[in-house]
Amino acid sequence: SQTIHQWPATLVQPVGSPLSLECTVEGTSNPNLYWYRQAAGRGLQLLFYSVGIGQISSEVPQNLSASRPQDRQFILSSKKLLLSDSGFYLCACSKQGPKGTEAFFGQGTRLTVV
Amino acid sequence: KNEVEQSPQNLTAQEGEFITINCSYSVGISALHWLQQHPGGGIVSLFMLSSGKKKHGRLIATINIQEKHSSLHITASHPRDSAVYICAVFVNQFYFGTGTSLTVIP
């Protein structure tokens, strides 16, 4: 079955420190991958999506970057965290299958920048 | 403009009550998801719907494609059902509702 492994589940980082969140997909190949962020009191907002290795599209300008070094690996990074980077980060995946579009979600990472 | 609207935003119920959370969307979709997020916890996928109705234990999800509307029902609610419930639709990306915060009181 298809699953997304996203880690860590929670993270507390000081302002100015780097960030690396990893998302790994199992059970499918060549998926579309997404990073979303949920700031306090707001809905989930698309940050990045990727349709293939090395292909990254950004939806909003920000202090973050994303990379897809392998087909089933999607990484969210920052060189220097800001307080405003605090929030809940969610990795998601979609794949066109014979029965339509399949989609599944990671558990999410709760990041607190202090 | 929100592609996905959920109601109510907040809901408090007594244990045992029947609960309904509604989701309306404005885009043509290929699938709709109901997600659960416990306080301080991660996301759990409850249902993926493209038509009709699905049931899992005390949870029932329905979708009306023509009316662009979905409902999540919880029968015989329990305090452990307390969580945020999020509706998400998929077009070329996911669009999420802002969530319904449910509190079930013993």
Chain B environment of A100 (Cβ under 8 Å)? 30-31, 50
CB distance A85 to A64 below 8 Å: yes
**pLDDT of the residue at A89:** 95
Chain A environment of B96 (Cβ under 8 Å)? 36, 43-44
Computed over every residue of chain A, the mean pLDDT equals 91
CB distance B1 to B20 below 8 Å: no
Q: Mutating which of B89, B96, B101 best tests the A interface, going by the most A Cβ atoms within 10 A?
A: B96
CA distance A81 to A62: 11
Chain A environment of B33 (Cβ under 8 Å)? 103, 105
- The predicted-structure confidence for A18-66, as pLDDT tens digits, reads as follows 999 999 999 989 999 999 998 877 788 999 999 999 999 998 767 899 9
User: Which of A14-18, A36-40, B95-99 holds the top average pLDDT?
Assistant: A14-18
Mean pLDDT of B71-89: 96
CB distance A73 to A28 below 8 Å: no
CA distance A104 to A113: 27
Residue indicated by tokens 């965290």: A81
Interchain CB contacts (distance < 8 Å): A and B: 47
Chain B environment of A9 (Cβ under 8 Å)? 42
CA distance B99 to B94: 14
- The predicted-structure confidence for B12-71, as pLDDT tens digits, reads as follows 999 999 999 999 999 888 789 999 998 877 888 899 988 899 999 999 999 999 999 999
Kindly report the CA angle at A55 between A53 and A56, in degrees rounded to 5? 125
**Residues in chain B whose beta carbon is closer than 8 A to a beta carbon of chain A?**
2, 30-31, 33, 35, 37, 40, 42-45, 48, 50, 86, 88, 90, 93-94, 96-99
Query: Contact A94/B94, CB-based, under 8 Å?
Result: yes
Amino acid code (one letter) for B34? W
Kindly report the CA angle at A113 between A107 and B4, in degrees rounded to 5? 45
Q: Name the CA radius of gyration of chain B, rounded.
A: 13
- Which value, to the nearest 10 degrees, does the dihedral of the CA atoms of residues B2, B4, B5, B9 take? -100
Whether the ω angle into residue B8 lies within 30 degrees of 0, i.e. cis, is: yes
What lies within 8 Å, CB to CB, of A82 at 6+ separation is A15, A63, A113
Query: Contact A44/B37, CB-based, under 8 Å?
Result: no
Q: Mutating which of B93, B95, B101 best tests the A interface, going by the most A Cβ atoms within 10 A?
A: B93
**pLDDT of the residue at B29:** 83
Q: Check residue A62 and report its DSSP letter.
A: -
